[in-house]
Amino acid sequence: MKLVVVSAGLSVPSSTRLLADRLAAAAAGRVSGPVDLRVVELRDLAVEIAHNFTNGFPGRALSAAIDDVTSADGLIVVTPVFSASYSGLFKSFFDVLDKDALAGKPVLIAATGGTGRHSLVLEHALRPLFAYLRAVIVPTGVYAASEDWGAEGLSERIERAAGELAGLMSALAGGSTSSASTRSLTSASTQAEAAPEPEVAVPAQAVAGRADGFHVVPFEEQLAALRG
């Protein structure tokens, strides 16, 4: 399977790339079978991304990166936090993709920042972005602040998120989990189609001119009587 990492780190070395590498290693180790791992460094594509906005055509390197992302079985996306959100470079790259490029694709979202106060960027910025692109976002996002490196908890979050991504990749690639899920959904669908439609009881009050002499006064008439 093909696993693609998109890193928006700007410095060298970069904590964003470090987090991306750790997530990739953890996910690749949980996927059964060989893994084709590709890394897209957005720092190297900044000029071509800008040119794509002005002329509408991706350069050679950007085109290769887009092909890798759209053909991936799973994505790991990591951005530094700028002004309480993802970086402009990160957003710009996903803006040049076709609107359907990530539909149904498993995506693990992650971010790095200088303080833990920015951890909600995963929920208020990254998750809505990839939900809009109709990606399948793993439940666990990973945020790493400066104080998280080497601290308790980060490794556990990485492993949990990587396991969720690997599970989605295997399922959507047609593994045993996918087959079981498909059989379950098919069975449920068949039962639902075979079940008779429930009868809807119509309240007696809703039927005018009944044989028992009950008569419903239209609301307009009731309102007119009140006004009078």
Are the beta carbons of 79 and 47 closer than 8 angstroms? no
Give the three-state DSSP class for 79: strand
Percentage of the chain exceeding pLDDT 70: 80
pTM, to two decimals: 0.75
- CA 7-12-17 angle, to 5 degrees, is 25
Amino acid at 61: A
Measured in whole angstroms, how far is the alpha carbon of residue 113 from the centre of its chain? 21
Secondary structure letter of residue 133 according to DSSP: T
Give the three-state DSSP class for 200: coil
Q: Which residue has the higher pLDDT, 102 or 152?
A: 102
Question: Please, where are the H alpha helices in 34-122?
Answer: 46-55, 60-70, 88-95, 121
- Phi, psi torsion values for 5, nearest 5 degrees: -110, 130
- Phi, psi torsion values for 113, nearest 5 degrees: -160, 170
Residue listed under structure tokens 């039927």: 207
Q: Which residues are within 8 A (CB) of 19 and not within 5 positions of it... i.e. 6 or more apart?
A: 78, 110, 112, 142, 144, 158
Per-residue pLDDT, 212 = 55
Residue listed under structure tokens 């309102």: 223
Measured in whole angstroms, how far is the alpha carbon of residue 166 from the centre of its chain? 14
- Rounded Cα distance between 31 and 77, Å, is 18
Burial label, 189 (beta-carbon count in 10 A; 0-12, 13-18, 19+): exposed
pLDDT in tens, 175-227: 544 444 434 433 444 444 444 444 444 444 444 445 555 567 777 777 777 76
Are the beta carbons of 129 and 82 closer than 8 angstroms? no
Give the three-state DSSP class for 74: strand
- Rounded Cα distance between 39 and 28, Å, is 13
pLDDT in tens, 31-88: 988 999 999 999 999 999 999 999 999 999 999 999 999 999 999 999 999 999 999 9
Are the beta carbons of 91 and 123 closer than 8 angstroms? no
